[in-house]
Amino acid sequence: MKRQSWTPNKSSHLCSEHFESHHFTTDSRGRTYLKDTAVPTIFSFSILVKNNSQKEDACLDDVPREIFQRIQKKKKTVFSENLKQFATTLHFYSPKAYDYVREKFLLALPHPQTIRKWYSSISTDPGFTVASFTALKSHVAEQKKVGKDTVCSLMLDEMYIHKQTEFGGDQIHGYVDIGGGEIENVVATQALVLMVVAINESWKIPIAYFLINSMTGSERASIIRESLVRLHTIGVRVVSLTCDGPSQNLAMIRELGANLDIMDMRPYFLHPEDHTQKVHVLLDPCHMLKLLRNVFSTVEVLVREDGQQIRWRYIEELHKLQEKEGLRLGNKLKMAHIQWRNQKMKVNLAAQLFSRSVADALEYCEQELKYPQFSGCSATVHFLRTIDAAFDVLNSRNPLGKGHKAPIKPTTKHRAKGILEKTESLLRGLKMKGRDSTLVHVHSTQKKTPIYGFIACGRSVMGIYEDLVEQPAAPCRYLLTYKLSQDHLELFFSAIRARGGYNNNPNVRQFRGAYKRLLVRHQVKKGTGNCLLRDNTTILDSTTATVNIARRVDVEPVEVLVPEYDSSSYLPDIDNLSTRKQQPLTSQASL
Report the relative pairing of strands 24-26 and 32-34 from DSSP bridges.
antiparallel
* Nearest residue to 589 via CA among 571, 567, 568: 571
Measured CA to CA, the distance from residue 454 to residue 43 in angstroms comes to 70
* Nearest residue to 407 via CA among 487, 477, 485: 477
Question: Is the CB of residue 311 less than 8 Å from the CB of residue 377?
Answer: yes
pLDDT of residue 535: 56
Question: Is the CB of residue 279 less than 8 Å from the CB of residue 271?
Answer: yes
Beta-carbon contacts of residue 162 (< 8 Å; ≥ 6 apart): 505, 506, 507, 510
pLDDT of residue 8: 72
* Nearest residue to 560 via CA among 391, 402, 404, 400: 400
Beta bridge partners of 151: 237
Q: What is the pLDDT along the chain (591 residues), one digit of tens a residue?
A: 556 566 777 777 778 878 788 778 887 777 787 887 787 777 665 544 444 444 444 445 677 777 777 777 766 678 877 777 788 777 777 777 888 888 878 788 888 888 777 666 677 889 999 889 998 999 999 999 999 999 999 999 999 999 999 887 677 889 999 887 777 889 999 999 999 999 999 899 999 999 999 999 999 999 999 999 999 999 999 999 999 989 999 999 999 999 999 999 999 999 999 999 999 999 999 999 999 999 999 999 999 999 999 999 999 999 999 999 999 999 999 999 999 998 998 999 999 999 999 999 999 999 999 999 999 999 999 999 999 999 999 999 999 999 999 999 999 999 999 999 999 999 999 999 988 889 999 999 999 999 999 999 999 999 999 999 998 888 999 999 999 999 999 999 988 888 766 778 899 988 988 888 888 755 545 444 555 555 556 666 433 323 333 333 332 333 333 333 333 333 334 334 333 334 443 444 443
Residue 156 phi, psi (nearest 5): -140, 150
DSSP-derived secondary structure letter, 368: T
Widest distance between CA atoms in the chain: 105
Q: How far from 46 is each of 49, 72, 377, CA to CA, in Å?
A: 10, 6, 76
Return the HEC string of 111-158.
CHHHHHHHHHCCCCCCEECHHHHHHHHHHHHHHHHCCCCEEEEEEEEE
pLDDT of residue 500: 63
* Nearest residue to 154 via CA among 225, 92, 210, 103: 225
pTM of the model: 0.76
Question: Is the CB of residue 178 less than 8 Å from the CB of residue 191?
Answer: no
Measured CA to CA, the distance from residue 565 to residue 207 in angstroms comes to 21
Residue 449 phi, psi (nearest 5): -55, -50
3-state secondary structure of 322: helix
